[in-house]
Structure 1
Amino acid sequence: MNSRSTVVVVGGGVIGCAVAYFAAVRGLDVTLVDSPRRGRATSASAGGLWPMGESVGLGCGVIFAKARGAGGHGPERLPESFLEFALRSNAMVPGLARDLRADTAIDIEFERTSLLFVMYDESDEAYAQALWEDYPEQRHLFEWLTASELAVAEPAVTRRVRGALRFHGDDQLNPYKFADALRAGARARGARVLAHTEVTRVVVAGSRVVGVETPTMSIGCEVLVNAAGAWAGQVGE
């Protein structure tokens, strides 16, 4: 069986479903091909929306430091462009949550919360102080908590701390429902979703990708988006 779409998206996690949804919103003919596997990021840790926490190194900064071969202690801060991108992206989520609920009736459980960097020793405190001083434009998103203030805010946290730096605007949602809503929204906007389907071959003509093959069909395309996450390398090969 042969078919054709303007855009084929490989991978049905949060990223793949988001690409399919926004492409469909723009009126493009989209096919999403998804083969769920254990260990995908959507089911592991895709629920945190941490523009400040990630940018100052409390998430991707660890990976960034490894990639650069950076030495020293503490997380590696990401480039300023990453912070700008993350803040702008996070500001779009409430509107996206409303749109998805209108399109699909799915509540992605978006919540305005915060992230705590808990300080256990002098090095933690020095790192937090540096963040406080180095991000004056984002100071309104920071809140310095003493040990006693932290105990009131989070009674379950150990008392053997010096305090915490709170990042306001670092929010959360339900990653499972987010992916489900994006997938359902893409369908509602006309996208075709092939669930439990594996891409077995990428079809190339000259220097261009012109389609993909699955065990049961061939799909021609103008654009292929490889959103297979940890398996993206296999798709690329």
Structure 2
Amino acid sequence: MSPIESADVVVVGAGIVGAACAEALSADGRRVMVLDRGAPAGATTASGEGNVLLSDKAPGPELDLALASRRRWPELLDTLRDELGERLADVEWESKGGLVVAVNPDSVSPLRILTAAQREAGVEVRDLGQAAACAMEPHLTTGVTAAAHYPGDAQVQPVLAATAMLAAVRARGGLVHGGVEAEGLVVRGGRVAGIRVGGTAVPCGAIVNACGPWAGHFSVAAGAPIEVLPRRGMVLVTAPLPAVVGRKVYAADYVAAVSSGDVDLQVSPVVESTATGAVLIGSSRQRVGFDETLEVEVLRRLARSAIRLFPVLAGVPVMRAYGGFRPYTPDHLPVIGEDPRIPGLWHAGGHEGAGVGLAPATGRMLADLMEGRRPEVDPGPFRVARPALMAEVRT
């Protein structure tokens, strides 16, 4: 690690959320140091599909944050291009839209109820019948009974996006260190005064816990435990194909899987193309701690579910499979804000599978709160001191 006497803020975690927080803080003129025990953007962010979604969120605080983030993404990318140039700021942004499909009659009514509520909340969504859905996606199964088109859904390459934001932090005078583990806080007078790294103390005025699925572990080491848990997911990647899938397509029951707290395995088909021509196939959810085992049965279920949506995928070679951990909170809301137990300790995490999409608005909210500004989105629902996160306030 390069020598540094101090930082205004130390962000622990160099994934997409940590990078967005560091970018927003450095844009405010703060000197930021980012630490990660592994390679920057090398853990959960590298295992993500890069989704920037409105379609999978019911009206409420998370959708409000998603709408703000969707507005902010293009502005942020313009800023990165201006500061870094086109090459470093190329993050493979695609405003390709999303299609949610009902594949049985029982799914139609819940889907229509959801889309009506989302429209009221400001989401652009168009209800479609089977013919219109298949016209948009010619390889889609004809067993679709109804669908909804979301023009605002987008995709970004998450590693490129995180590294571009970290490059902007460096360009503004900040530091980014991989392979460096934060060992604990330095607390004086009841508030953060620094962070311990490699047996030495680095003075700072604030620390941001952006450790993704490991945020709960870091919070315990910091002496301010919060309930953030890992939830494992797996993805199949096909060999490059001709144009088969035009946008992100998933079954309507995926929304229920996202909001479920079940421990048992859940599989709901999610299929989307990439810039290389490969098709990504998800989605699974399991609460198995940090067990990294690639389970063959899970991969089989992913493949079967994708073929039911897109029969043309039968027989297509799978190039690889990978897994990762999503940071899960029991009430399915991110945690963004200062810890009331240790002033100067901030948390930004618990986004589960929505971290890429929610990252820009999360970073901006945290920076606004740190500066004493009123955030665009009400921060109350994301506060640290809520029953689902802190044992001492549970009833």
TM-score range, shorter chain: 0.7 to 0.9
**What's the offset of the Cα at 1:39?**
7.9
Deviations 1:108-147 (A, max 9, x none): 1222121211101122101112123334435771122222
2:180 is matched with 197
**What's the offset of the Cα at 1:29?**
1.3
| Comparing 89-98 and 35-44, the one that deviates more | 35-44
| TM-score w.r.t. length of structure 2 | 0.51
Q: 1:23 aligns with which of 25, 43, 59?
A: 25
Alignment of 1:101-112 (within 5 A): 101-105=81-85, 106-112=89-95
8 Å contact kept, 1:21–1:189? no
**Cα root mean square deviation, aligned:** 2.2
1:172 is matched with 155
RCO higher in 1 or 2 (8 Å CA, sep ≥ 6)? 1
Deviations 1:165-194 (A, max 9, x none): 111211111111100100101101111111
2:170 is matched with 187
Q: 1:116 aligns with which of 91, 95, 99?
A: 99
SS in 2 for 1:223: strand
Corresponding pairs, count = 214
| TM-score w.r.t. length of structure 1 | 0.82
**What's the offset of the Cα at 1:33?**
0.7
* Structure-1 separation of matches of 2:211 and 2:139: 38
Deviations 1:23-70 (A, max 9, x none): 11111111111122798331122611112x2322xxxxxxxxxxxxxx
Matched, 1:50 2:30: no
8 Å contact kept, 1:2–1:218? no
* Structure-2 separation of matches of 1:183 and 1:2: 17
Q: Which amino acid aligns with 1:189?
A: R
**What's the offset of the Cα at 1:102?**
2.1
Q: Which amino acid aligns with 1:121?
A: N
1:214 is matched with 197
Matched, 1:129 2:131: no
SS in 2 for 1:200: strand
SS in 1 for 2:6: strand
8 Å contact kept, 1:202–1:235? no
8 Å contact kept, 2:35–2:181? yes
**Structure with greater helix percent:** 1
* Structure-2 separation of matches of 1:103 and 1:136: 36
* Structure-1 separation of matches of 2:109 and 2:194: 53
SS in 1 for 2:203: strand
2:364 is matched with none
Q: 1:41 aligns with which of 40, 44, 68?
A: 44
Q: Which amino acid aligns with 1:127?
A: P
8 Å contact kept, 1:8–1:224? yes
8 Å contact kept, 1:40–1:230? no
* Structure-2 separation of matches of 1:88 and 1:139: 11
SS in 2 for 1:107: coil
* Structure-2 separation of matches of 1:149 and 1:194: 50
Q: Percent identity?
A: 29
